[in-house]
Structure 1
Amino acid sequence: MSQNLKFVQEFLDEAGPTDVSATFADWTALVDRLAAKVKDRFELHRDPSTDALESFAAENGPKGSIRGYTGPEIDWMIHSHMENAAAGFVNVHLTIWLGPQVKVPHFGMALGAFPQGWLFLDSVPRSYLMEDTESYDKYYEPLNAEWERVQAENDFIEPFVSRSAFVRASLSPTAMCFMAPGDGRLTELVTDVAERHLDRWLQWVDEAERVPEEEQAALAATDEAIRRNIAERDPANVMGERFFGPEMTQDLVRALWGGGRVLPRPLER
């Protein structure tokens, strides 16, 4: 098996305890900046279902936070982290699922360390791109050159290929998913691609045409099904179970997809 065809826990266990606190600080600072920019653009309200998850911890060091938001244009936004940085593991999320009023791809980003630094950044599709070539031509083909450039110009990174076929199926053709030593080069690269992609995504939203009213309910249902499946089928959930136990992990996963949300979805407002 090649080096990069492994689950997250395999990388972590094979490396042994490695302090990645510096990487965690870099990732949380970046995600906090991006989240602040999103909050400046959209009306967002913290969903009470995630209040109890503002801060959670296990007795032996692991801790985390999950904050869920919604608003007139945003179905579900997650700003979260889970970490045991002293032992080599970090996971930081900013995922933004739009309401059905537009058909712009969702914004998906996760930053990690196990103990190598790791990036996932994607425009989460809202249709089958082999059929919906209009969306492909508008949102994905223009990014292909940048995807190629990032791979070609940064020889210190290597693709991260999940062993999970479901995870691989969930990625768009322009998803950035790679790992590298957690040093300044990686921080600079990740900061650049993430900030530019968020700015581009915000422009997509501002320029998007409105989805016809009669199509919005179906789009909203599809969005929630995809979000739930991604959260529940994530093979990295095993890390939550390792740190916090199965019952707590179920609560965390449910929060990530909005299963206990209290505030209405955009279509219900």
Structure 2
Amino acid sequence: MSLKYVQEHLDEAGPSDVTATFAEWQALVQRLKDKVAARFELTRDPSTDHLESFDDGGTGSGARGRVRGYTGPEIDWMVHSFMENSAQGFCNVHLTIWLGPHIKVPHFGMALGCFPQGWLYLDSVPRSYLATDTESFDRYYEPLNERWEQVQRDNPWLEPFVSRSAFVRAGLSPTAFCYMGADAAQMTPLVTELAEEHLDRWLGWIDEAEQVPAEERAALAADDEAVRRNIAERDPANVMGDRYFGAETTQRLVRALWGGDRVLPRPGV
């Protein structure tokens, strides 16, 4: 385990072409997104139309990216995005899905990256303080603990990713899958297995969820947006956006991640 920021890993490793891994992981996330789109009514928010394709903005990095934001009757904010300079060893692909306040199922968090080591983040983003909301803990997290242990036990080549940022560490649930692998391509089978399993489990939770009482929904929606905004704005990896796309574009990207410029209304608010 090493305590380093993303940019430190990338700078110390030097350039390494991860184009093939980026293509595989982008295809995986697209399959998952298509499965979500088949389950939920989704509408692309116009605020992200101008981020359908963006480049390095004159920084000379050669990087490019895309951010698509969606909303719907059951989905507060979904982001399907990528940013890459894969020929130089950097990429990330995101699928994050924030539910509306009608149910209290954890949100879906997923990000895959290379810098140039492989990096995996999969989490069930909590919507309450689990040390007091033991009902949510017992329902969504304790049953996953055995699987979390098994992944660590059976894959000794994986290195737990521990951020130097205390805020990042505070945002992870106790069953978050957050790992690095020296060989990004080696991670693909496990990444695929865990990601598909993660989505299927999450969809099952939604099918079984009880409705949140109407009088509690506004407070839950406010908390959800605060968590989402803080995660986006406090991410120490935002400096990679500054490096590859410039500060102005990075600020637009950060706002798109939490829906700061959204046009369509939030469900249930």
Partner of residue 54, structure 1: 52
Number of the residue aligned with 2:164: 163
Query: In the aligned structure 1, how far is the partner of 2:179 from the partner of 2:185?
Result: 15
Residue 237 of structure 2 corresponds to residue 236 of structure 1: yes
- In 1, the alpha carbon distance for the partners of 2:185 and 2:75 equals 33
Q: Secondary structure at the match of 2:95?
A: strand
| Deviation (angstroms), 1:72 | 0.1
Q: Does 1:113 align with 2:111?
A: no
State the match for 1:69 in structure 2: 70
* Off by >2 Å, runs of 4+ in structure 1: 181-185
Q: Distance in 1 between matches of 2:193 and 2:30?
A: 15
Whether contact under 8 Å (1:117, 1:186) holds in the other structure is yes
The letter of the residue matching 2:52 is E
Instruction: Report what 1:93 is aligned to.
Output: 94
Q: Deviations over 1:7-40 (max 9, x none)?
A: 0000000011111101101110110000000000
What is the alpha-carbon distance in structure 1 between the residues aligned to residue 185 and residue 155 of structure 2? 13
In structure 1, C-alpha distance between the alignment counterparts of 2:183 and 2:255, rounded to whole Å = 30
Counterpart amino acid of residue 151 in structure 1: Q
CA distance in 1, matches of 2:255, 2:185: 34
Contact 2:97 2:109 survives alignment (8 Å): yes
Structure 2 counterpart of 1:106, one-letter code: H
Aligned-partner Cα distance in 2 for 1:182–1:250: 31
Q: Confirm or deny that 1:8 pairs with 2:6.
A: yes
Q: Please say if 1:25 is aligned against 2:23.
A: yes
> What amino acid is the match of 1:12?
L
- What residue in structure 1 maps to residue 137 of structure 2? 136
Instruction: Tell me if structure 2 keeps the 8 A contact 1:113–1:182.
Output: no
Note if contact 1:65-1:81 (Cα within 8 Å) is conserved in structure 2: yes
Cα distance between partner residues in 2 of 1:9 and 1:129: 31
Separation of aligned partners in 2, 1:130 and 1:183? 35
1:64 CA drift (Å): 0.2
Secondary structure of 2:91 counterpart = strand
1:86–1:184 distance in 2 versus 1, CA, 3 Å: closer
Shift of the 183–115 alpha-carbon distance from structure 1 to 2, 3 Å rule, reads closer
Matching residue's letter, 1:133 = T
Show the counterpart of 1:150.
151
Structure 1 residue 183 displacement after superposition: 4.6
Amino acid at match of 2:95: L
Q: Which residue of 1 aligns with 2:180?
A: 179
Q: Which amino acid aligns with 1:19?
A: D
Tell me, in whole angstroms, the C-alpha distance in 2 between the residues paired with 1:67 and 1:162: 26
What is aligned with 2:250? 249
Q: State the distance in 2 between where 1:12 and 1:197 align.
A: 28
Using the alignment, how far apart are the partners of 1:62 and 1:192 within structure 2? 29
Count the aligned residue pairs.
Answer: 266
Rounded Cα–Cα distance in structure 2 between residues aligned with 1:66 and 1:234: 17
- 1:37 and 2:31 correspond: no
Partner of 1:261: 262
Identify unmatched segments of 5+ residues in structure 1. none
1:60-95 deviation line (CA, Å, top 9, x unaligned): 310000000000000000000111001110111000
Percent of aligned pairs with the same amino acid: 73
How far apart are 1:184 and its partner, in Å? 4.4
Could you tell me how far apart the structure 2 residues matched to 1:182 and 1:141 are?
31
Question: Which ranges in structure 2 are unaligned for 5 or more consecutive residues?
Answer: none
State the distance in 2 between where 1:183 and 1:176 align.
16
- Displacement after TM superposition at 1:254 (Å): 0.3
TM-score, normalised by the number of residues in structure 2: 0.97
What does the per-residue CA deviation read over 1:175-208, in whole Å, with 9 as the maximum and x for residues that have no partner?
0000003354310001001101100000100110
CA displacement at 1:128 relative to structure 2: 0.1
Does the CA-based 8 Å contact 1:74-1:266 persist in structure 2? yes
